[in-house]
Structure 1
Amino acid sequence: MIRSPLTHALLVASVLASTPLIAQNATEADVWSSVASLRQRMDSGALTCQALVQQFDSRITRIDQSGPMLRAVIERNPDAAKLAAELDAQHSAGKSLGVLHGIPVLLKDNIDTGDRMLTSAGSLALMDAPAPRDASLVERLRKNGALILGKANLSEWANMRSGHASSGWSARGGQTRNPYVLDRNPCGSSAGSAAAVAAGLVTVAIGSETDGSIICPAASNGIVGIKPTLGLVSRSGIVPISHNQDTAGPLARNVADAAALLSVIAGSDSGDPATADADKHATDYTRFLDPNGLKGKRIGVVRQMAGAEPNADRVLEQSIALMKAQGAVIVDPVELPHLKDLGDAEMIVLLYDLKHDMDAYLATRTDLKVKTLADLIAFNQREAAREMPWFGQELFEQAQAKGPLTDKVYIDALAKAKRLSGKEGIDAALAAHHLDALLAPSWGPAFMTDPVLGDHVVSGDPTVGGASQPAAVAGYPSITVPADFAHDLPVGIVLFGAKWSEPTLISLAYAYEQHSKIYRAPRFLDTVGGKPQISASP
């Protein structure tokens, strides 16, 4: 099922050689191009999907599987070349499937695909067989012409197996590295998705977040990440943690690409009751890409989420100044009530949900030997040398000890978490100052990868910050954009707001991005102040 780089390269070369439409060559510039630019080149006949896939495939072999060894891509689609040829043929026949026609997309390896690729959540326990069908969001991608290039590495089980884990590590894929500085951590469970986009291994990718797993890797890898409103994007066919907080979302190098990707994957799905109202709110989010989007908007600065890391604080001040210069009304400070009261209730909810939701998901994977969370725990114990070389599974074990979702402790914790984060938290802060959005540093610069001690950052950590928790617990949207660099490491800011406020957040983020213009490609430094391992400039 998993081919060696050589075997994969020979397969790609064989299919490409048998396909007549491949005269147009992809260039290094195409690797860094936006979705809109790639579509323009394809529409003009200057570029084919096949050529673009070949370019990305070569780059994955050169950078991800060798060279700097990012380990961001856990599996490449063995049918990519064939699918690219079909998409090119459709394009030549005048049939355009949509804005993503011919655009390669990577999926986090907790998103089901009903093809020859595996969906493993990074675990060896789920490698018996592929998923039986596409996740709902994958169906939407394919219908819009996107090419699923492969699966991205992740923190195994989306970082919900142990509180001692190293983000970006999985037994199946190894440790993902940050492309800006290789000994730094890519952060969050969507580590491979973010690192791959940042490194030019794919145009856009899909990640998922329960709390921080889109926002932190996007910020740490210098790209844009959107954590949508809970229920805007279907979770059907995604390996779960919590139906109360899980959501998939876009990762891209710019806001326009992230908006385009969100436009495709958003919408109602009968398989996910949380999306019942999604069609009422899903739209073409690229309509909100206004370079003057900051003008007249009221943005509140949550100082409680600053003050933890000096580089992040400096970047926040720069960002505030830019927003003011572009006509935003900055309310500073704005208190976010109950910020310190969310953690215990959130963890109770996540542990209960993990047991319930994981068992429900595994019931859809009938070809697997593991059927329950208890089976996963037993598997990890048997395969401890491969599955637990650095950290254990205490969160799995705590979840397994929980009772049903009818337990009063769960019901009370869920009600408390939603009330304090939503109505009495974000909603209250927005209403008190008539705000359009709230602003905070995303995280500080990426921390060192440490397999012995695990991550040095969690949301709200006093040394490096983290601003994902309120929106994650409430189920409200947030977006992070690159804001500057510190010691060659990206630093981002995060904007978050009310439920279904994606249009406002995208408009604000796009306007900020257009006037800050700080993006630069990674140089793959071996360490801070070290030497580049490969040339990666656009």
Structure 2
Amino acid sequence: MARGSLTPSQLTRTYLRRIATVDPKIHAVLRTDPTALAQAAASDRRHRDGATRGPLDGIPVLVKDNVNTRGLLSTAGSLALAGSPPDTDAALVTRLRKAGAVILGKTNLSEWANFRAAKPTSGWSAVGGQTHNPFVLDRNPCGSSAGSGAALAASLSQVAIGTETDGSIVCPAGMNGVVGLKPTLGLVSGEGVVPISAEQDTAGPMARNVTDVALTLSVLAGEPRHPGPTSGGTGLRGKRIGLWRLPSLGKEVDDVMSRTARRLRAGGAEVVEVTPPYQDRLAALEFPALLTEFDRDIDTYLATRKGPRDLAALIAFNRAHPAEQTCFAGQELFERALAAPPTTDPGYRAERAELRDLSRRSIDETMAAHHLDAIAAPTNPPAWTTDCARGDNDVIPSSTPAAVAGYPSLSVPAGSVGQLPVGVLLMAGSHQDQALLSLGAAVEQRLHAWRAPRYLPTTGPDLP
């Protein structure tokens, strides 16, 4: 674009053609924005006039469908919000537009960000059906930013926006072989984003490389322009990385982590094995706290939209609409949230305070004890077979410490088990996003693990 050999309109048309050609295989994009080409044409003029607004000017971006986008349906995957689009953009979409980005369309997601049923199937919504993993089509893309991760793997846009409460940016990034950043809590505005919990929710950037993620974060967070992370030949030299192995994810994943550690050491990093403390207690406390917070936060959001006005009305809507039950019928989490104690309850307040304290200590104490620049862990197991009757097989503990602490975490492609990608999850302390991105760029350069998907219908007998 800087040379004039590619225009925003050409790039946007290319992605729109690719969506029309490739997306029927994976069902990642719910709808494209009918104004996308007009947005690109405006960017063409800015490029011709030397008046670009920064590195995202003219770059096509797909936005997860739980993020309000003016004039485009923004449904969280639910028919309850499919009647009319929101009147205003989410704050992060406003920032993207001001930066000149082209809002290309909306991506499918796990309905209500996987917070409706006790046994959900990631990547399924009543609005969009099932999103497939582009590497092996009968495998799951992981939730809840499933469409954003799958769309990037299939090269349907340059950048995508995901959201996370615990794992929903980084797991789809890992399982679809792309890069995803869960930023420090509060760095990106949550205004106009369908919530689970204000104590943990954040939107974040996803892309096929760390530099595009960093450039997008600078826009989402309203930071001054910068060229993104760089990692020269000394990018890993002198860095200390703690490897949290998580053998519960299986031998093949552990083998990927062993290869990762060897390559990082060969690049000059010191890698030491660590086990962050307090994980069992975090796992016990997190879910009850989220139930209480969801009841409060979803009611606040629903009051801004046409449709059901509170959680009780949402539960009634789902009971009355059979299309909401075509993959899985349950809404146990909705019902439990409605019955959960309020956020004024002293027991809840004590639990959330303990969660915040232990999650931060789990990272801070581990990094201090070993003098670490970051902790690394496997992001995901190999993608499981999608199965509505069974639901997900997704107990993946690596995302929890940073998610509950509000600290940043970054998934970078690390390798694969057979045809199925595995990511390495890097995490660090509060507001260490830029340092984590710089380290992630060096890790990415050393591992060189990105590859294009093959859209295989299924896997052979030698694969899980």
TM-score by length of 1: 0.83
Q: Does the Cα contact within 8 Å between 2:78 and 2:324 map onto a contact in 1?
A: no
Give the equivalent residue in structure 1 for 2:13.
Answer: 54
Give the equivalent residue in structure 2 for 1:93.
Answer: 49
Give the equivalent residue in structure 2 for 1:82.
Answer: 38
**Match of residue 326, structure 1, among 262, 267, 271:** 267
Shift of 1:458: 2.3
**Match of residue 356, structure 1, among 270, 278, 296:** 296
SS at structure 1 position matched to 2:228: helix
Q: Does structure 1 residue 421 correspond to structure 2 residue 394?
A: no
SS at structure 1 position matched to 2:2: helix
Q: Does structure 1 residue 407 correspond to structure 2 residue 345?
A: yes
Give the equivalent residue in structure 1 for 2:181.
Answer: 226
Taking the TM superposition and a 5 Å limit, the aligned residue runs for 1:189-228 are 189-228=144-183
Q: Which amino acid aligns with 1:51?
A: Q
Taking the TM superposition and a 5 Å limit, the aligned residue runs for 1:95-494 are 95-114=51-70, 116-267=71-222, 284=226, 286-303=228-245, 305-332=246-273, 334-365=274-305, 368-422=306-360, 424-460=361-397, 467-494=398-425
Q: Which amino acid aligns with 1:318?
A: R
CA distance in 2, matches of 1:291, 1:414: 43
How far does the alpha carbon of each residue in 1:499-535 deviate from its partner, in whole angstroms, 9 at most, with x for none? 11112211221111112222110110111149xxxxx
SS at structure 2 position matched to 1:207: strand
CA distance in 2, matches of 1:291, 1:104: 31
* Identical columns (%): 51
In 2 relative to 1, CA 383–290 (structure 1 residues): closer, same or farther, beyond 3 Å? farther
Q: Does the Cα contact within 8 Å between 2:122 and 2:146 map onto a contact in 1?
A: yes
CA distance in 2, matches of 1:372, 1:411: 23
Shift of 1:132: 1.5
Moved more, 154-163 or 287-296: 287-296
Q: Does the Cα contact within 8 Å between 1:101 and 1:144 map onto a contact in 2?
A: yes
Q: Does the Cα contact within 8 Å between 2:236 and 2:443 map onto a contact in 1?
A: yes
CA distance in 1, matches of 2:327, 2:152: 28
Shift of 1:328: 1.0
CA distance in 2, matches of 1:428, 1:177: 39
Shift of 1:159: 0.4
How far does the alpha carbon of each residue in 1:261-280 deviate from its partner, in whole angstroms, 9 at most, with x for none? 1111114xxxxxxxxxxx7x
Shift of 1:89: 1.8
CA distance in 1, matches of 2:382, 2:227: 29
Q: Which amino acid aligns with 2:431?
A: W
Q: Which structure 1 segments of 5+ residues have no match?
A: 1-41, 268-278, 461-466, 531-538
Q: Does the Cα contact within 8 Å between 1:263 and 1:285 map onto a contact in 2?
A: no
CA distance in 1, matches of 2:110, 2:299: 20
Q: Does the Cα contact within 8 Å between 2:190 and 2:201 map onto a contact in 1?
A: yes
In 2 relative to 1, CA 287–513 (structure 1 residues): closer, same or farther, beyond 3 Å? closer
Give the equivalent residue in structure 2 for 1:533.
Answer: none
How far does the alpha carbon of each residue in 1:416-440 deviate from its partner, in whole angstroms, 9 at most, with x for none? 1111111x31111111111111111
Moved more, 163-172 or 481-490: 481-490
Q: Does the Cα contact within 8 Å between 1:289 and 1:506 map onto a contact in 2?
A: no
Shift of 1:288: 4.8
- Provide the aligned C-alpha RMSD in A: 1.5
**Match of residue 526, structure 1, among 449, 457, 461:** 457
How far does the alpha carbon of each residue in 1:133-180 deviate from its partner, in whole angstroms, 9 at most, with x for none? 111111111111100000000000000001211000000000000000
Shift of 1:78: 1.1
Q: Which structure 2 segments of 5+ residues have no match?
A: none
How far does the alpha carbon of each residue in 1:222-277 deviate from its partner, in whole angstroms, 9 at most, with x for none? 0011111111111111000000110011111111111111111114xxxxxxxxxx
CA distance in 1, matches of 2:287, 2:180: 24
SS at structure 2 position matched to 1:505: helix
Shift of 1:386: 3.6
CA distance in 2, matches of 1:141, 1:288: 23
SS at structure 1 position matched to 2:388: coil
In 2 relative to 1, CA 217–425 (structure 1 residues): closer, same or farther, beyond 3 Å? same
Q: Does the Cα contact within 8 Å between 2:229 and 2:441 map onto a contact in 1?
A: no
Shift of 1:289: 4.2
Give the equivalent residue in structure 2 for 1:45.
Answer: 4
Give the equivalent residue in structure 2 for 1:27.
Answer: none
Q: Does the Cα contact within 8 Å between 1:262 and 1:285 map onto a contact in 2?
A: no
Q: Which amino acid aligns with 2:320?
A: R
In 2 relative to 1, CA 46–216 (structure 1 residues): closer, same or farther, beyond 3 Å? same
Give the equivalent residue in structure 2 for 1:71.
Answer: 27
Shift of 1:330: 1.5
Q: Does structure 1 residue 496 correspond to structure 2 residue 404?
A: no
Q: Which amino acid aligns with 2:352?
A: L
Shift of 1:369: 2.5
CA distance in 2, matches of 1:345, 1:384: 33
Q: Does the Cα contact within 8 Å between 1:154 and 1:191 map onto a contact in 2?
A: yes
Q: Does the Cα contact within 8 Å between 1:351 and 1:395 map onto a contact in 2?
A: yes
Shift of 1:61: 1.1
In 2 relative to 1, CA 102–169 (structure 1 residues): closer, same or farther, beyond 3 Å? same
- Aligned pair count reads 461
CA distance in 2, matches of 1:221, 1:308: 17
Shift of 1:283: 7.2
How far does the alpha carbon of each residue in 1:361-394 deviate from its partner, in whole angstroms, 9 at most, with x for none? 11222xx121111111110000034445423100
Give the equivalent residue in structure 2 for 1:513.
Answer: 444
Q: Does the Cα contact within 8 Å between 2:229 and 2:437 map onto a contact in 1?
A: no
TM-score by length of 2: 0.96
In 2 relative to 1, CA 410–487 (structure 1 residues): closer, same or farther, beyond 3 Å? same
CA distance in 2, matches of 1:372, 1:122: 17
How far does the alpha carbon of each residue in 1:446-496 deviate from its partner, in whole angstroms, 9 at most, with x for none? 111011110011223xxxxxx101111111111111111221111111111
Q: Which amino acid aligns with 2:402?
A: A
Q: Does the Cα contact within 8 Å between 2:135 and 2:454 map onto a contact in 1?
A: yes
Q: Does the Cα contact within 8 Å between 1:226 and 1:478 map onto a contact in 2?
A: yes
